[in-house]
C-alpha cells in the first residue's frame, strides 16, 4: 500500500470543515495540528463530526468521535469511511 | 430555623404510576429502559428509553383537561396529587397563602411545540393551535397544581436542565426552613419522547445505544426517561400538630456553578455543591450512609462525580454506599432530582438501597462502593442526592430518615 499523499483533496476538505466549524482561518489548521492546540473540545468535536457527515455523506460512529485527537486522525478516519462506503455501494451507484 | 418534614411522596415514571409500584421495581432491580414505542424513522441511534409505560392520562383527567395540559404537566399533576393525598394536608384558610408550588422542568411542553412546527414548516399552515402557549410553558404543571389545590403563595418553575428539580426542592426547603412558607409541593417533571428533542439528544452523541450502565467500565452514555416526582414538604411543627406521618426530613441543600464549560463537567463545581449541602445540613461527611448519584452513565460524568465525592467525603468515600437509580428509570432530566429524592427517602425508611443495574465491570476511575445489580440492606440515617446539569449547574440535597 503506497504512503498516503500528505495533502490531497479529501484532506483539504476536512481541514476546511474544521476551520469553518471553529471559525478560524484554514491556514491555521495543519495536518499535524492537535485538537488540543486548536482548542477543539468535545462539544466542538461533535459539531465538526456533524459537518463532516454532511460533507462526505458518511456516518461516523459515536466511539469514533471520542477518539478524535488530531487533524490527521480525523482525515484518516474520514478516508476509511469514504472508502468503505464506495466499496459497499452497488455498481453504478453515485 | 424550622425543621422541614416530608409528609407526602408522588411518583410517575417508567417504574410505575405510584410510589409503591415504583419502589417494588427499584428494590427488585428491574430495568425499565426498554424498546421505545416509536423507534423513529429513520430509527434513532438508540433503541431504548424509559417511558412512563403504564401512564394513561384518561385514568386521571377528563378529555377537556387534555386539551389544556400536555404530557409533562399531566405527569406533574398526578405525582402532586399522590403526594398531597399521602400527606393528608388540607389547603384551607391561611395555609393557602403560606404554601408554595415549586417545580422543575428543563424544556416544558415539547410535544405541543413540535406540533406547531409541523403545521408551520411541514404543512405550510400558519395557523398554529391557539393553546400552544399555555400547553408549552414550562410552568404549566406548577400553575395547574396551584389551581387544583387552591395554593396562593409562591408558585414557579425552575429550568436548570438536569438539576431543575433539585433546585426546586432546595428552594422549597429553604423557604420553609426560613419561615417564609409553611408547606410546599415541590419536585419536577419531564416528557422527553418528542421526535425533535430525541433527534437533538441523538446529535449530542451522549445516549447509550442499548442501556445506561452507570459507573460500569463499559458504559456508553445515558438513557433518556420521562416522569415526575413530587414531595410535600412541610414545617415540622405544623406536620406534628396536625398528626401527620413524617416520612423523612430535608436537612441540607447546596448548589454551585462550574463556570467552566457549557457541557464538559469538572470536579470542583460538583464538589462545591456536595460540600455546601453537607455544611448546610450541619453534619460531617462521616454521617452520610448513602449517595443517590447523578450517575448518568456517560464516561465523563461518572468519573468526575467519583472524584467530586472523594474530594468532599475523604475516607468516607471508601465505604459510603452509592447507586444510580437512573439505570432503572432512565435520566428524567428536569424530573431526575425529584424522582431520586423519593428513592432516597424510601431507601432511608426501609434500610434497603436500590441497586445500579446493568453493571458489568468495575471501572478504576469510578472506585466507589457501588451497590451493583442487587439491592443492599444497611442501616440508613442520612443520604445525599446529586444532580449536575449541562451548563455546569450543580445541586445536592441532604435527606434524613424518619426515625427522629
C-alpha distances (whole Å) from B327 to each of B21, B25, B321, B339, B367 are 17, 12, 16, 13, 18
Main-chain phi, psi angles of B298, to 5 degrees: -85, 155
| Nearest CB partner across the interface for B261, out of A41, A46, A49 | A41
**For residue A42, what pLDDT is reported?**
85
Radius of gyration of chain B (CA): 20
- Pick from A41, A42, A50: CB nearest B203: A50
Partnered with residue B104 across adjacent β-strands are B158, B188
Tens of pLDDT along B179-201? 999 999 999 999 999 999 999 99
CB-nearest partner of B264 from A42, A50, A65 = A42
Size of interface A-B (CB pairs under 8 A): 21
pLDDT, residue B233, reads 98
Least CA distance to A60: which residue of chain B?
B205
Residue A63's CB is within 10 A of a number of other CB atoms, namely: 10
The percentage of chain B sitting over the pLDDT mark of 70, rounded to a whole number, equals 100
The count of C-alpha atoms lying within 13 angstroms of the C-alpha of A65, restricted to the half-sphere facing its C-beta, is 23
User: What integer pLDDT is reported at residue A90 of this predicted model?
Assistant: 57
Nearest to B136 by CA among B158, B112, B116: B112
Picking from B102, B104, B105, the residue whose alpha carbon sits closest to that of residue B154 is: B102
d(CA A11, CA A72): 8
Tens of pLDDT, residue by residue over B162-177, are 999 999 999 999 999 9
Residues of B whose CB is below 8 A from A42? 263-264, 300
Residue B299 to residue A66, Cβ atoms within 8 A: yes
Q: Is the peptide bond before B42 cis (omega within 30 degrees of 0)?
A: yes
Taking an 8 Å cut-off on Cβ atoms, the answer to whether A46 and B205 are in contact is yes
Options B294, B329, B344, B366, the catalytic residue: B294
Query: Any idea which of B198-202, B260-264, B313-317 has the lowest mean pLDDT?
Result: B260-264
Cell of B142: 406548577
Residue B202: closest C-alpha in chain A: A62
**8 Å CB contact between B214 and B372:** no
DSSP secondary structure letter of residue B402:
T
Q: Is B331 a catalytic residue?
A: yes
Our answer to whether residue B152 is catalytic in this structure is no
The strand ranges marked E within B150-286 are 155-158, 183-190, 227-235, 248-257
CB proximity under 8 Å: B 277-336 to A = 299-300
The stretches of B231-359 forming alpha helices (DSSP H) are 236-241, 268-281, 299-313, 316-319, 326-329, 336-350
A 10 A CB-CB count for B350 gives 15
What whole-number distance in Å separates Cα of residue B258 and Cα of residue B277?
16
Q: pTM value?
A: 0.93
Q: Which pLDDT score is estimated for A66?
A: 76
Pairing relation of β-strands B352-353 and B376-377?
antiparallel
From B212, B238, B331, B344, active-site residue: B331
| Nearest C-alpha neighbor of B13 from the set B54, B69, B57 | B54
Tell me the ipTM for this assembly. 0.76
B98: which DSSP letter?
Answer: T
DSSP H helices, B216-267, are 236-241
End-to-end alpha carbon distance in chain A: 26
Partner A contacted by B42 (CB < 8 A):
no
Any bridge partners for residue B222, and if so which? B207
B262 touches chain A (CB under 8 A): yes
**pLDDT tens track for B210-262:** 999 999 999 999 999 999 999 999 999 999 999 999 999 999 999 999 999 98
Nearest-by-Cβ selection for B204 from A41, A46, A66 = A46
CA A45 vs CA A3, A24, B221: distances in Å: 27, 15, 16
Cell of B287: 454521617
Contact B46, B207 (CB under 8 A): yes
Can you tell me which residue has the cell 462526505?
A: A56
Whether A42 and chain B come into contact, CB under 8 Å, resolves to yes
Q: Is A36 in CB contact (< 8 Å) with chain B?
A: no
In degrees and rounded to multiples of 5, residue B128 shows phi and psi of -85, 160
B162 is catalytic: yes
Give the confidence band of B102 by pLDDT, cuts at 50, 70, 90: very high
Per-residue pLDDT of chain A (94 residues; tens, 9 = 90+): 444 555 699 999 999 999 999 999 999 999 999 999 999 988 899 999 999 999 999 999 887 777 788 999 999 999 999 999 877 765 544 4
Cβ contact B331:B162 at 8 Å: yes
Give B209's contacts in chain A (Cβ within 8 Å). Answer: 62
Per-residue pLDDT tens digits for B68-85:
999 999 999 999 999 999
Instruction: Give the chain A residue nearest B221 (alpha carbons).
Output: A62
* Cell numbers 476536512: residue: A14
The DSSP bridge partners found for residue B158 are B104
Helix axis angle for B299-313 and B268-281, nearest 10°, is 40
Number of residues written out for chain B = 404
Segment B366-388 shows an average pLDDT of: 98
Amino acid at each position: 500500500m503506497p504512503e498516503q499523499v500528505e495533502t490531497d483533496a479529501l484532506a483539504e476538505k476536512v481541514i476546511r470543515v474544521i476551520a469553518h466549524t471553529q471559525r478560524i482561518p484554514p491556514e491555521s489548521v495543519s495536518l499535524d495540528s492537535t485538537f488540543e492546540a486548536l482548542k477543539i473540545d468535545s462539544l466542538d468535536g461533535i459539531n465538526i463530526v456533524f459537518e463532516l457527515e454532511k460533507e462526505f455523506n458518511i456516518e461516523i460512529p459515536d466511539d469514533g468521535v471520542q477518539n478524535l485527537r488530531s487533524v490527521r486522525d480525523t482525515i484518516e478516519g474520514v478516508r476509511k469511511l469514504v472508502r468503505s462506503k464506495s466499496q459497499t455501494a452497488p455498481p453504478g451507484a453515485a | 430555623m424550622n425543621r422541614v418534614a416530608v409528609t407526602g411522596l408522588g411518583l410517575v415514571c417508567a417504574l410505575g404510576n405510584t410510589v409503591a409500584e415504583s419502589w417494588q421495581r427499584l428494590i427488585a432491580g428491574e430495568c425499565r429502559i426498554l424498546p421505545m414505542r416509536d423507534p423513529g424513522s429513520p430509527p434513532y441511534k438508540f433503541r431504548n428509553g424509559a417511558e412512563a409505560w403504564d401512564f394513561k392520562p384518561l385514568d386521571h383527567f377528563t378529555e377537556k383537561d387534555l386539551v389544556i395540559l400536555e404530557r409533562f404537566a399531566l405527569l406533574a399533576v398526578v405525582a402532586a396529587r399522590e403526594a398531597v393525598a399521602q400527606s393528608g394536608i388540607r389547603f384551607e384558610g391561611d395555609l393557602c397563602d403560606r404554601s408554595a408550588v415549586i417545580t422543575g422542568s428543563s424544556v416544558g411542553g415539547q410535544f405541543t411545540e413540535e406540533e406547531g412546527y409541523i403545521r408551520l414548516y411541514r404543512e405550510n399552515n400558519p395557523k398554529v393551535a391557539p393553546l400552544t402557549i399555555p400547553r408549552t410553558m414550562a410552568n404549566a404543571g406548577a400553575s395547574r397544581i396551584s389551581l387544583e389545590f387552591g395554593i396562593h403563595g409562591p408558585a414557579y418553575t425552575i429550568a436548570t436542565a438536569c438539576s431543575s428539580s433539585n433546585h426546586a426542592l432546595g428552594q422549597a426547603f429553604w423557604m420553609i426552613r426560613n419561615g417564609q412558607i409553611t408547606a410546599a409541593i415541590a419536585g419536577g417533571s419531564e416528557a422527553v419522547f418528542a421526535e425533535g428533542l430525541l433527534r437533538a439528544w441523538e446529535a449530542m452523541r451522549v445516549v447509550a445505544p442499548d442501556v445506561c450502565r452507570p459507573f460500569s467500565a463499559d458504559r456508553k452514555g445515558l438513557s433518556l426517561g420521562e416522569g415526575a416526582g413530587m414531595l410535600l414538604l412541610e414545617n415540622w411543627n405544623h406536620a406534628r400538630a396536625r398528626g401527620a406521618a413524617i416520612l423523612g426530613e430535608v436537612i441540607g441543600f447546596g448548589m454551585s456553578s462550574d463556570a467552566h464549560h457549557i457541557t464538559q463537567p469538572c470536579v470542583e463545581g460538583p464538589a462545591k455543591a456536595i460540600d455546601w449541602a453537607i455544611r448546610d445540613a450541619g453534619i460531617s461527611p462521616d454521617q452520610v450512609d448513602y449517595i443517590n448519584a447523578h450517575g448518568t452513565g456517560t464516561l465523563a460524568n461518572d468519573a468526575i462525580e467519583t472524584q467530586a465525592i472523594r474530594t468532599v467525603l475523604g475516607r468516607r468515600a471508601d465505604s459510603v454506599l452509592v447507586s444510580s437509580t437512573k439505570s432503572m428509570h432512565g435520566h428524567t432530566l428536569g424530573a431526575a432530582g425529584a424522582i431520586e429524592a423519593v428513592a432516597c427517602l424510601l431507601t432511608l425508611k426501609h434500610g434497603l438501597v436500590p441497586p445500579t443495574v446493568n453493571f458489568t465491570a468495575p471501572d478504576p476511575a469510578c472506585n466507589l462502593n457501588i451497590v451493583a445489580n442487587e439491592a443492599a440492606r444497611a442501616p440508613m440515617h442520612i443520604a445525599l442526592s446529586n444532580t449536575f446539569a449541562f451548563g455546569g449547574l450543580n445541586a445536592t440535597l441532604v435527606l434524613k430518615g424518619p426515625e427522629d
